[in-house]
Amino acid sequence: MRRGNSRSAWTLLLFIFAGIIIGSVVGNILAQYFDTPILNKTIQIGTKDAPWSIDLAVISLALGFTLTINFGTVLGVLLGILFYLRS
């Protein structure tokens, strides 16, 4: 039986994911107009150069993942968590 708290983990993930998307877009837009180091610094984690590839005789499979983090992304995640706690 659920208690009075109706928030779920899926709602938290939705708020965080929305914060990542919106924060990244806003961070990239602000980096174009303002020449500050905190807005222009990005960190990329993952397979940057080429994805992993498996070439079989019948099928070819390529796997890759890159996570790009900037100031807007971090701010968006924090705002997403704040909005989750306020809802």
Question: Percentage of residues in the chain with pLDDT exceeding 70?
Answer: 93
Q: Is the pLDDT of residue 2 over 60?
A: no
pLDDT digits (tens, 9 = 90+) for 31-66: 899 888 888 888 888 887 778 888 888 898 888 888
> How many residues make up the chain in this entry?
87
The model scores a pTM over 0.85:
no
CA 61 to chain centre: 25
DSSP 8-state code for residue 4: S
Domain extent listing, the chain:
9-86
User: Can you give the pLDDT at residue 13?
Assistant: 94
Q: What is the DSSP string of 17-75?
A: HHHHHHHHHHHHHHHHH---HHHH--EEEE--S--EEEE-SS-EEEE--EEEE-HHHHH
How does residue 24 score in pLDDT terms, banded at 50, 70 and 90?
very high
Query: Which residues have a Cβ under 8 Å from the Cβ of 18 and sit 6 or more positions away?
Result: 76, 80
How does residue 14 score in pLDDT terms, banded at 50, 70 and 90?
very high
User: Can you give the pLDDT at residue 21?
Assistant: 94
